[in-house]
Amino acid sequence: MAVLHLWQVWCSAGVIFCVIEMFTPAMFFLNLGFACFVAAVAAAMGLAAIYQVITFAIFSAIFLIWLRPLLIKKRKSDNPETVEMYIGKTANVIETVDANNGRIAVFGEEWQAKSLNGEVIEKGQQVKIIKNDSIVMFVVPVE
């Protein structure tokens, strides 16, 4: 029977965090994944498990404080016109939009949406995109 070594467990956790980051682009789990890989190196060097956990905690904090802001800034500066091209455009409501959630379709893409003024906008209606916050579009109904 195969036995997993601690460095393999740390690497597996790092890969899982990186996969989670792909589905939640918040630049949070990626930092934890990187910290797992550093802890895997500590494990491969033979450090005790408690020191591996301490290494993970320290590097998680370092990456979250130092690397996350750099990654977020890089992501925003990579393609600033991408989000701007949606502002002012008309979209179709594909899932009822209210102050907390909903979905719209614009340019053949689906986006999370929230009503800018809090009103409920039913599926099938047209909306105008007013602003965005990360991956959420704020919309108002088209009159």
Spans of all domains in the chain: 6-78, 82-141
Alpha carbon distance 17, 61 (integer Å)? 15
Q: Which CATH class is domain 82-141?
A: mainly beta
Give residue-wise pLDDT tens across range 86-142.
Answer: 888 999 999 999 989 999 999 888 899 999 888 999 999 999 999 888 788 999 998
Backbone phi, then psi, for 65, in 5-degree steps? -80, -40
Three-class HEC string of 34-66: HHHHHHHHHHHCCCCHHHHHHHHHHHHHHHHHH
pTM of the predicted model, to two decimals? 0.53
